């Protein structure tokens, strides 16, 4: 099968990965951290704001690939502190409707740029 890279804006200079890959009807979204694409800075403020930014970033890659959050079938959430699980869950629930994607959530020791959350996803392209 043919793989197509997905970029939102310009590729990140020196990054040895693609933000997304399309294979057939599947869209694989690399882990998205809470970076505001307009400023390039990590979102400050409350943890919930960073969760929203991660999911918004996942959505932007999906849309560039011809998909959207409604077409996500699997999500993996990485947290540096599992004490934030309930807070993440409340925000996460704002983004998906009745049929929520399958999901895993794991605690990790550290994430890029010292952030406290990262989210990756697998979606299906829209018809």
User: Tens of pLDDT along 45-62?
Assistant: 999 999 999 999 999 999
pTM: 0.95
pLDDT at 16: 85
Mean pLDDT of 14-37: 93
Q: What is the mean pLDDT of the chain?
A: 94
How far is Cα 60 from Cα 16, in angstroms, rounded to an integer? 20
Question: Percent helix, strand and coil across the chain, each rounded to 5?
Answer: 30, 30, 40
Mean pLDDT value of segment 3-19:
81
> Domain 3-7+18-124, what fold?
60s Ribosomal Protein L30; Chain: A; (3.30.1330)
Q: What is the predicted pLDDT for the residue at 1? A: 78
In this structure, the strands spanning 26-32 and 20-23 are antiparallel
For the chain, domain boundaries: 3-7+18-124
């Amino acid at each position: 099968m043919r793989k197509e890279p997905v970029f939102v804006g310009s590729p990140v200079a020196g990054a040895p990965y693609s933000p997304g890959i399309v294979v057939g009807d599947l869209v694989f979204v690399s882990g998205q951290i809470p970076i505001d694409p307009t400023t390039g800075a990590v979102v400050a403020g409350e943890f919930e704001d960073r969760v929203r930014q991660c999911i918004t970033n996942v959505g932007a890659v999906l849309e560039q690939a011809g998909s959207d959050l409604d077409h996500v079938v699997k999500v993996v959430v990485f947290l540096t502190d599992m004490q934030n699980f309930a807070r993440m869950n409340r925000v996460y629930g704002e983004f998906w409707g009745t049929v929520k994607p399958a999901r895993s959530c794991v605690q990790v020791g550290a994430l890029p740029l010292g952030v406290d959350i990262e989210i990756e996803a697998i979606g299906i392209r829209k018809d």
